[in-house]
Structure 1
Amino acid sequence: MNNANPQEKNSYYFENFDVKDGLSQSTINCIFQDSQGFMWYGTEYGLCKYDGYTFTRYLHNPNDSTSIGGFQIKDIKEDKDGNLWIAAGHSLSKLSQINQMNGRFSNYLDTEILHLKIPNTTDDFEIWISTAIGLRLFKNNSFSDFPITGVYSAKLSNNKIKKLFEDSKGNLWIGTDKIGLFVIKRKVNMESKISHFPETFTGNIKQSYFDVASFFEDSKGNIWVGSNGGGLVKIPNGDINENNFFYFNTSQTGSKQIQTDCIFYSIVEDKDGFIWFATDGAGIMKYNPGSESFSYLKHKENDSNTLGTNRIYSLWIDSTGVVWAGSKDTGIYKIITDRIYFNKYPVYLDDKRFNKTKLSNVWTIKKSRKPDHLWAGIDGGLCLLKKDENSFQKVREFYFSLPNNNNLQVRDLYEDEKGILWVAVLGSGLIRLNPETGKMDIFLHDENNLQTISANTTYCLKEIQGNFLIGLNGGGLNLFNLETQEFTEYSFAESHNSDKTFIPAFYQTSLKENVIWASGWTEGLLLFDFEKKNYSQFKLGLPNDYSFRITSFFETDKNILWMGTYGHGIVKLNVSSIYNNAQSQLVENYKVYRTQDGLIGEMVYGILKDDFGDLWLSTNTGISRFNPKTEIFTNYSFSDGLPEQGFNLGASLKDGNTLYFGASDGLYYFIPQERQKSKPPTVVLTSFKKFGKKVEDLSLNGLKEINLSWRDDFFSLEFAALDYKASHENQYAYKMEGFNRDWIHIGNKREAVYTNLDPGNYRFKVKAANGDGMWNEDGLDIAIIISPPFWKTWWFLFSLITAGGLSALSVHFFRLKQASLIRDKLQADLARDLHDDTGIPITKIKNLSYRLKGNSNDNKDSLSEQISQQTDLISHSLRALAFGLDPERATLKQLITYLKDCSDNIFDDGLVVFRLEGLNSDFDEIYLPSHWRANLLRIFQEAMNNISKHCPECRNVLLKVNVTNNVLIMGLCDDGPGFDQKKTNRGNGLKNFKSRAKELNGELEIISGNDKGSSIVFRAKLPFRLVDLIKKTFKL
């Protein structure tokens, strides 16, 4: 802190934020900046967070216990762990950093909370709380009465406590409603060291002083007490005695007299030592400790650059020096105290030709020989402007009415020692004007007279050695001899066989005699030597260099020439070697600065140097301030009060410490202040999105790593530089190391989007600059880890190889073991099926054979037919067994096709129509193990046999097959009379069906009823095969 008396600056820049900008409500009770740099605002309806671009709102929801605990936000504090504690109505609400994205609060309910204090002098974490009914203590997640004993205990326990404050000595200051001020010496016995004012005072003190509204300790240790209607009290060094109280109110005299019909709600101190007071009724007061005087920032009608109200509830000065003021009903005001204030004087034309007044361009500005007077070249004439204290007034004006030219532009002028004006008028040659008499002489081009001006399109002129040098469009340079009144043309075109040169600007160097720098609009940089009467042309080694159009010059010491260009920024050229050898040559000792380097616009129309060594550059989009030593740009644009269309070529002037630039809507002027030291901005991640949706459960504060899956192939990161002076002028650049080779400069945009990044490890980096051009090169650095699919990981490949080898061995031994078990089971199943399918028929054949031997010839045919039938049954059974064991017929399609063939044999009488539904080519890819084929074949073949035997009335049979999500569903339906499952004699057969379905881990549903037909439905998940998974995974 500088101990010298601060010097007050009188220019401020105001910016207002309201509900339309994202605030939840327009009355701002409190303001706070957290340790990350975010701004927080407590309103009458919710809590708001601001990152310089957008507001995030946290609102109370009665149906959500994790929302903030109340609507009315009175105070905000932060603990050492970065948790925010908010006084929200009757709730003490805690918001941890990890929950700032999802807005989940921990709420602790008590009485109405007015103010919070997290003390610095306690060992354990606790919060002191002021309420409407006394002091409260929050500790270990619970509330209790504040531990005060003695004579003042009742007063502090039963009265409204407005404010709490702990000074640098550890004393606790307690501000009450109507009963005064209490100070507790917390480092010694409380009861014996409690002071109460005004009770302990003997003088006649106004009670209103001690309706306390605010406390503050300044950098010198003075305690300030703001009251409700009683003014201010200053207590030097916090020394509590009656004679050490200094009062500021309406009854005081001189600089101590201030407006007191207001409430002093908040007090802060800026970096220069000024004390700011937020008042309800008097706007903002500002105290200068050097002069011990007060100034006011109040609402002014019809002035947008001011407060919108005099009811200010809260103040905060952020880490960059921006003053934030919270108001009653009109939102937040951002106040820039060191921002340059740009003045504007609009020049209006009284255009008698059209009988109207219109706004004019200012094409040139020159000092008059009269003190405090300026000449401005405008559309159609001249204005003589007299500078008043804060503005200008037009004292004289001249309008040129020239033949065949209704669009005159005064591009340059010079006032000689006799007060005669020499005026360059675009399209009308050179004019000599006596402003006292109004006499005017016009010098025009005469193609029959070589001693006249070589063109009428005059752009610039300068007095050199008692004569005038004139730059023309299409006429090169002309020298006008005042004695002979003759013009001499010096044309670059004649010696180079080209069209006549357009010279929009030239500059007389002070480093070398008899030479002048000139801009050739199509020839580039030219140096004209008066003694040799010739030009030298210089090429900068850039593509299309001769079309490198120069609009302005400025030469500083150390042989440095600065050139503004039309579309290529500014060029810094070391001319020392040129002066030593002034010949046409390729120049390499130069540097170009463009918008990617921080310049606000590519078209630079004017260059001026201030008293601090900075260059001021007028452009097509605003003004840039450039420090040649640090190469840092500070930019000013429309939002700072500058013209939206930019400035005019050649219209610039420095007069004293004031800079002037001409534009399409008037004259702009300002006094540059010494550049304030600026810190690089803090860069934070404000949002992370996957597929366009915010990831709310991600703690962004201090985030070092983000882990993603290979499926997260579309994500974006949003970031912000927390410098609030001119957030829209903050600049950003980012890169993803491992993907981007170079930094990607994105101007004031704040988002990076990535799609289809390959799995791997990356580092996402962001650097940012504030409006002063200070870059935080370290910025943001976050590891982005994208995990590959498991089949592309090294451990999977290694495991696969290892498992393959082990599996090969295991499979070999397993197969040896299983082969025996499978062979035994197959033998047992085959034996069972052979017994079931052939045992009875063979027995019947045997009995029929005995009968055939003993019977007469009349019965032989019948018995033979029965033997043949039994033989067919055995044949069919053996074919079915063979199908179940045949590995060449192992697909679902082949099974269904076989069942269709079986139906042709079973329903061969022609009375039953068999239909098949659902068979498709995909079934060719579904492999069925042998036990699946055998059991399914048994179930459905036997079911068809039952229909044929027991349902003579049946005329239609349907087999329907479907596979969905790897689940097989097979159903067989008939239109017979059906049967009663409880009374039927088919119980063993049906049980056999279900037993076979169970072997396949499936279900078999049998549906039948009298006169309703019958159906059986099998459902089971198809058997898993590793080869199918591999084919699907690797898309083989």
Structure 2
Amino acid sequence: MKMTSIRSFLEFLADFFFLSITIIHKRLIKVLGFTAAFLFFLCISQGYSQEHSFQFKHLGLDEGLSQSSVPSIIQDDEGFMWFGTTGGLNRYDGHEMTVYRRDLVDNNSLSDKHIADMCKDTEGNLWIATGNGLSFFNIGEERFKRYFAEDRPGSVSANVIHATHCDTDGTVWVATKNGLNKLVDKDEGGFVRLAVVDGENNFQEVYRDSTGRLWAGTFGEGLYYLDREGQLAHSQITGLNNKKITTIHDGEAGYLWVGTNNGLYRINPERNKATLYQYEADNPASLSENTVNVVYRDSQSNVWVGTGDGLNLYHPETDEFTRFKADPRDDQSISSNQIHSLFEDRHNTLWIGTWSAGLNKFSYHQKDIQYYFHDPESGNSLSGNNIWDFLQDNDGQNIWIGTDEGLNRFNRDTGKFEYFLNEPGDDHSLSSNRIFNIAQDRSGDLWLATSRGVNKLNPESGDVDRYLHKANDPNTISYNSLWSLAIDSSGCIWIATTSRGLDVMDPETETFTHYRHDSDDPKSISSSFVTEIYIDSKSNIWVGTRQGLNLYQPERDNFKQFAYTAGNPHSLGNSSVLDIHEDSKGRLWVGTTMGANVLDIESHNVLHYFSRKNGLPDDIVYAITEDHEASVYLGTTRGLAVWNSETETFSIFDKRDGLQGNEFNAGAALTSSAGKVYMGGTNGFNTFFPGDLTGNPNVPPVVITDFQLFNTSVPVHGNREEKGENRDILEQSITHTDTLTLSYSDNVISFEFAALNFTIPEKNQYAYKLEGFDETWNYIGNRNFVTYTHLDPGEYTFRVKAANNDGVWNEEGTSLALMITPPFWQTSWFYLLGILLAGGTVVLGYRWKLRSIHQQNEQLEQEVESRTSELYEKNKHLKEALKELRETRSQLVEKAHKAGMADIATGVLHNVGNILNSVNTSVSMIRETSKKSKLANLYEANNLLEKHMDQIEEFILETPKGKKLLSYYLKLEEPLRKEQKEILDQSRRLNKKIDLISDVITAQQNYAGSAMEADQMSLEEMIDDALSLQSATIERHKLTVRKEINSVDPIIAHRTQLIHILINIFKNAKEAIIKKAPPEKMISIKVWQQQDEVFLSVSDNGGGIKEENMDKIFTQGFTTKKSGHGFGLHSCANYMRSMGGQIKVESEEEGATFTLIFPTTYKKRLNQSETLRAFQHEN
């Protein structure tokens, strides 16, 4: 934390007000014009000395930045941030960096890795100044074009480029080591050179101001401007004495800021006068250092100055600067004092590029939350970071803070901390430094609940009276370990102990009354572990315990108990009470270890119950307070929840918003008389006014940032070979692509996307939908990628929308038309070609049939004879097959009974019997076909022909019988073909049924005797087998496997399936641990038994499973891995059901636990047989 001594702070205020009075006296009208800005910067000045009004967040190599020195920053038209470093060009989308570097063998790459400056032209493309040439980057095509100095007048004048400037008319200006250049021909690389006659022409900066004048700064020859004739003219500005210009930028009201290597100038161009600002050793409001690297004016008209020793903010109303310096003790200070670039994006985030320390950013929309913590090197900070309680004293001047390291008095006006500590050997000091609760009586004395008794502190003298437990003395507190205390309207002190119940002390007589839990008395306090005491506006005394809430009933001197009751919606959601607070509507908020309850004080009914299921970030609610606008603040273990009583919704804030951490402490919440909220936790405390939590109103632009095939990114113009042909999948970057055409074989596709709002990008939220496949939107939190597999050919539209860090959604989002082309055999032209081929085949076949009919008549007799013989053989084979089937059936029955497995045999017989019935039907149909065959009359016809062979021609042509015989032969072909086809069809059916019988028998035999049969086995042996198969990867990644195997009965399971399940779960645990990389990589295995079920749990300390994914984790196709397909856990769930077991998953903030439940008896398994058979039928 940026802490300065109070003396420095007072000196600063004295200087500040002295200068302010002087300016008001001289320039009253101007000061009135800057009143609003004055108040804003006054708050900044005060906050800087004691608090974090500016919280800088850092990006460096760990976030993907290619190099830590950042001389240039810009934002493109889509909203991506671009960072020019000394190690290449970086594009940032809030999730990851895309790096572009120089490639020695690629002329379309960056001309040099060292980037000095960038500008964006009217088409949205980038012009990049490097140490070796000028580079043009076409953002849509992701291609570079290089411009180098050549021995011709039209080329750029030097390869060392210091700066670029893009005009609104499309003109690009280039400042080089050897002159100023104006681009006139982008395609051919034509430049017009401008130079100073007899000068060195080492131009460092080029800039066009708001009036339209172009300025150019040199390093050694001063400041130039472009005159009306388009020539460089030396500026004649009074007071501008330094000739080494480093930076130029617009100022307020027409002023111009010019940075040099020895100070900063504020120039009035109309009067040609300059004011110099330099570092002054005895003036903390002066410039921090004279080497000025960059000047920038943001959208709030704030002027920021980056120097070689810190960042400066100029205050025009006082003509002074506020300094921001790197502080290694403060992770929210700037990362380096070497500031080289500044840029404000379109959503009001200020980006700060340093030399060798990466990027810093500060958002004007981030929450104005002050943060106080212990700084061992500061003379004015908290005494300890673990905060337990706040109290505003009676005069409102001080906030008293209980910590693990003593009592702190915080003066709200001066920002000074004063400590009260335990002094060994001094009985008038605190008895313990652990202060859990603070109360103040009417006389002004403070009463403290500590880990060692009650203390009464006189704030003026610092003297302490101790009230400690004394053995065998009932007139003392019953236990020294205390948790809470409160003072009632009569002045009595109510004291909560951690194991001996509730004590009440009369401070006048110093006598004690004790209340303890009595299990035989329902009117006693519900537990002797008392956690909280709260006195409401009607003087009711509420007592929270580990076993419920209690209301003291003074007329009976007993308690009414409130606890969780199953099935009662008006009872507490949980009985372990952590904090109690009355809101402005007279309702009682009760924080527990399982949510928050809102209790009606009159009826004692619970009106509302809040948990993770309806808006809280976590179920453990430690601290509660209400502000003056009726919003309720709930500190949990995963952030701060703010309940808006008007909208009845929660807003969630966490460490990323500037909080001390995500975990708060029990009771550490306060709203001061001025309306300021105080929230304490394990890393200090925060203060803020409700208005300081104003949300980010900016709707985030949404872009698709990457497209992948088979988990590999597809580059622009990246040719992909397919069946001997090359095709360009992307002609432009995926961000600039409207329609994407893919082949049916591109069956694993992925999209990445981003909301280009950089306030807190980790809190941006996403939802996606593939129209034509998804029926509803898929809300996926902060995950920014999705994968689809095996999409059917057709037309789709991929849509994605996003919300910023405060939940403001871009409902329109972005979209991409997706067309998946079918294989050639599913195309229209292929269908048409098939119809034409089929038609041609029919015509040709008809003609062939006419020609062959005569030949077939001649062969008819031979064919009939052959068919008759074939039918005889078929019948013979069928009889043999039937005989063999009956024998097999008999053998199977005998085998099943001998094996004691009647249920299997019955199933086999049932299946075989059905098939045999079908076989008998087919044989009967063949027999009937043979009986009714036209061949029956063929023998008679042949005999008749043999009798008249001598007069065959006369017999056929002239006799009635002969004519009928000819007609009979001509009509015989078609019936015989039908009979032939019917017999062949029945024969094929018979063959299939015989094969089916064989398959049934084989399958049932396998089921009866193979490894797929469920059997009793040792679960411990199976675990050891699965671990041995994973031993290589476990040793390679140095994982520790901890086993707790209790004695259990053998389980009923399929051996092969169980091995598959265990390997899958061990593999997932290993991958989760490797991804998070905790200090100790641990897989915990536990086996235990409850009645006739055995439980196996596998736990890891990886990153855990997000809550929104818990219900989908066993769904087919669901995965959170970019390269996954979502089949592993789905198959595990199916196998467990097939074995009559269950699989469950649990996950908290860290790690996940998978639990397998197995039956141990055949009885339990047989009870599940119907479910098992149904499952097998479905699958």
TM superposition score normalised by structure 2: 0.57
1:222 to 251, 255, 270: 255
- Which residue identity does 2:217 align to in structure 1? G
- Which residue identity does 1:95 align to in structure 2? F
Structure 2 residue 579 is the aligned partner of structure 1 residue 552: yes
The match for 1:328 is: 355
> Does structure 2 conserve the Cα–Cα contact (< 8 Å) formed by 1:475 and 1:501?
yes
The match for 2:931 is: none
Structure 2 residue 178 is the aligned partner of structure 1 residue 133: yes
> Does structure 2 conserve the Cα–Cα contact (< 8 Å) formed by 1:83 and 1:94?
yes
1:232 to 258, 262, 265: 265
CA–CA separation in structure 2 for the residues paired with 1:790 and 1:520: 74
- Cα distance change on mapping 1:756 and 1:317 into 2, 3 Å: same
- Which residue identity does 1:165 align to in structure 2? Y
The match for 1:85 is: 127
Structure 2 residue 266 is the aligned partner of structure 1 residue 270: no
> Rg: which structure is higher?
1
1:323-368 residue CA offsets vs partner (Å, 9 max, x unmatched): 22222333323345655341113799xxxxxxxxx97854334345
Q: How far 1:40 moved relative to its partner?
A: 1.3
- Cα distance change on mapping 1:623 and 1:2 into 2, 3 Å: farther
CA–CA separation in structure 2 for the residues paired with 1:30 and 1:737: 41
- Which residue identity does 2:167 align to in structure 1? P
1:222-262 residue CA offsets vs partner (Å, 9 max, x unmatched): 32222332531332xxx4333x5444346999999646631
1:106 to 125, 145, 154: 145
- Which residue identity does 2:845 align to in structure 1? R
CA–CA separation in structure 1 for the residues paired with 2:325 and 2:252: 26
The match for 2:608 is: 590
- Which residue identity does 2:262 align to in structure 1? G
Aligned residues, how many?
767
1:343 to 362, 372, 376: 372
Q: How far 1:173 moved relative to its partner?
A: 2.0
1:66-108 residue CA offsets vs partner (Å, 9 max, x unmatched): 11122221222223332222223443322223334xxx32223
- Cα distance change on mapping 1:16 and 1:662 into 2, 3 Å: closer
CA–CA separation in structure 2 for the residues paired with 1:789 and 1:144: 50
- Cα distance change on mapping 1:515 and 1:782 into 2, 3 Å: farther
CA–CA separation in structure 1 for the residues paired with 2:790 and 2:764: 29
CA–CA separation in structure 2 for the residues paired with 1:544 and 1:816: 87
Bigger fraction of residues in strand: 1
The match for 1:897 is: none
- Cα distance change on mapping 1:433 and 1:692 into 2, 3 Å: same
CA–CA separation in structure 1 for the residues paired with 2:339 and 2:463: 58
> Does structure 2 conserve the Cα–Cα contact (< 8 Å) formed by 1:117 and 1:164?
yes
CA–CA separation in structure 2 for the residues paired with 1:347 and 1:73: 41
CA–CA separation in structure 2 for the residues paired with 1:51 and 1:554: 43
1:812 to 839, 842, 846: 842
CA–CA separation in structure 1 for the residues paired with 2:276 and 2:456: 66
1:66 to 99, 104, 108: 108
How do residues 242-257 of structure 1 correspond to structure 2 at under 5 angstroms? Answer: 242=272, 244-249=273-278
CA–CA separation in structure 2 for the residues paired with 1:47 and 1:711: 35
Structure 2 residue 164 is the aligned partner of structure 1 residue 116: yes
CA–CA separation in structure 2 for the residues paired with 1:366 and 1:391: 16
Structure 2 residue 72 is the aligned partner of structure 1 residue 43: no
- Which residue identity does 2:248 align to in structure 1? F
Q: How far 1:58 moved relative to its partner?
A: 1.0
> Does structure 1 conserve the Cα–Cα contact (< 8 Å) formed by 2:755 and 2:804?
yes
The match for 1:461 is: 485
The match for 2:1124 is: none
- Cα distance change on mapping 1:106 and 1:817 into 2, 3 Å: farther
The match for 1:999 is: none
1:961-980 residue CA offsets vs partner (Å, 9 max, x unmatched): xxxxxxxxxxxxxxxxxxxx
CA–CA separation in structure 1 for the residues paired with 2:102 and 2:315: 41
- Which residue identity does 1:142 align to in structure 2? E
Q: How far 1:677 moved relative to its partner?
A: 5.1
1:197 to 235, 260, 279: 235
CA–CA separation in structure 2 for the residues paired with 1:559 and 1:778: 43
SS of corresponding position for 1:231: strand
Q: How far 1:689 moved relative to its partner?
A: 1.9
> Does structure 2 conserve the Cα–Cα contact (< 8 Å) formed by 1:342 and 1:670?
yes
- Cα distance change on mapping 1:40 and 1:593 into 2, 3 Å: farther
Q: How far 1:583 moved relative to its partner?
A: 3.2
- Which residue identity does 2:359 align to in structure 1? I
The match for 1:172 is: 214
Q: How far 1:298 moved relative to its partner?
A: 3.0
The match for 1:694 is: 713
The match for 2:341 is: 314
Bigger fraction of residues in helix: 2
How do residues 578-727 of structure 1 correspond to structure 2 at under 5 angstroms? Answer: 578=600, 582-583=602-603, 585=605, 587=606, 590=608, 592=610, 594=612, 597=615, 600-609=617-626, 615-623=632-640, 631=649, 633=651, 635-637=653-655, 640=658, 642-643=660-661, 646-655=663-672, 659-664=677-682, 667-672=684-689, 674-676=692-694, 678=696, 679-697=698-716, 698=730, 699-727=733-761
The match for 2:37 is: 5
- Which residue identity does 2:466 align to in structure 1? M
> Does structure 1 conserve the Cα–Cα contact (< 8 Å) formed by 2:483 and 2:498?
yes
CA–CA separation in structure 2 for the residues paired with 1:636 and 1:553: 22
> Does structure 1 conserve the Cα–Cα contact (< 8 Å) formed by 2:422 and 2:432?
no
> Does structure 1 conserve the Cα–Cα contact (< 8 Å) formed by 2:288 and 2:311?
no
CA–CA separation in structure 1 for the residues paired with 2:680 and 2:839: 90
The match for 2:787 is: 753
- Cα distance change on mapping 1:397 and 1:779 into 2, 3 Å: farther
Q: How far 1:475 moved relative to its partner?
A: 7.6
> Does structure 2 conserve the Cα–Cα contact (< 8 Å) formed by 1:97 and 1:701?
no
What are the ranges of 5 or more consecutive residues in structure 2 without an aligned counterpart?
Answer: 1-32, 149-155, 378-382, 717-729, 855-1179
1:31-65 residue CA offsets vs partner (Å, 9 max, x unmatched): 11222222211122321222233222211112111
- Cα distance change on mapping 1:455 and 1:222 into 2, 3 Å: same
> Does structure 2 conserve the Cα–Cα contact (< 8 Å) formed by 1:299 and 1:308?
yes
SS of corresponding position for 1:813: helix
CA–CA separation in structure 1 for the residues paired with 2:250 and 2:132: 29
The match for 2:10 is: none
How do residues 878-897 of structure 1 correspond to structure 2 at under 5 angstroms? Answer: none
| Identical columns (%) | 26
- Cα distance change on mapping 1:413 and 1:288 into 2, 3 Å: closer
CA–CA separation in structure 2 for the residues paired with 1:763 and 1:456: 68
Q: How far 1:637 moved relative to its partner?
A: 2.0
Structure 2 residue 428 is the aligned partner of structure 1 residue 383: no
SS of corresponding position for 2:845: helix
What are the ranges of 5 or more consecutive residues in structure 1 without an aligned counterpart?
Answer: 349-357, 825-1036
> Does structure 2 conserve the Cα–Cα contact (< 8 Å) formed by 1:135 and 1:145?
no
Q: How far 1:536 moved relative to its partner?
A: 7.7
- Cα distance change on mapping 1:369 and 1:170 into 2, 3 Å: closer
SS of corresponding position for 1:98: coil
2:318 to 291, 299, 323: 291
> Does structure 1 conserve the Cα–Cα contact (< 8 Å) formed by 2:678 and 2:688?
no
CA–CA separation in structure 1 for the residues paired with 2:764 and 2:34: 29
- Cα distance change on mapping 1:463 and 1:675 into 2, 3 Å: same
> Does structure 1 conserve the Cα–Cα contact (< 8 Å) formed by 2:171 and 2:183?
yes
- Cα distance change on mapping 1:233 and 1:822 into 2, 3 Å: farther
> Does structure 2 conserve the Cα–Cα contact (< 8 Å) formed by 1:706 and 1:783?
yes
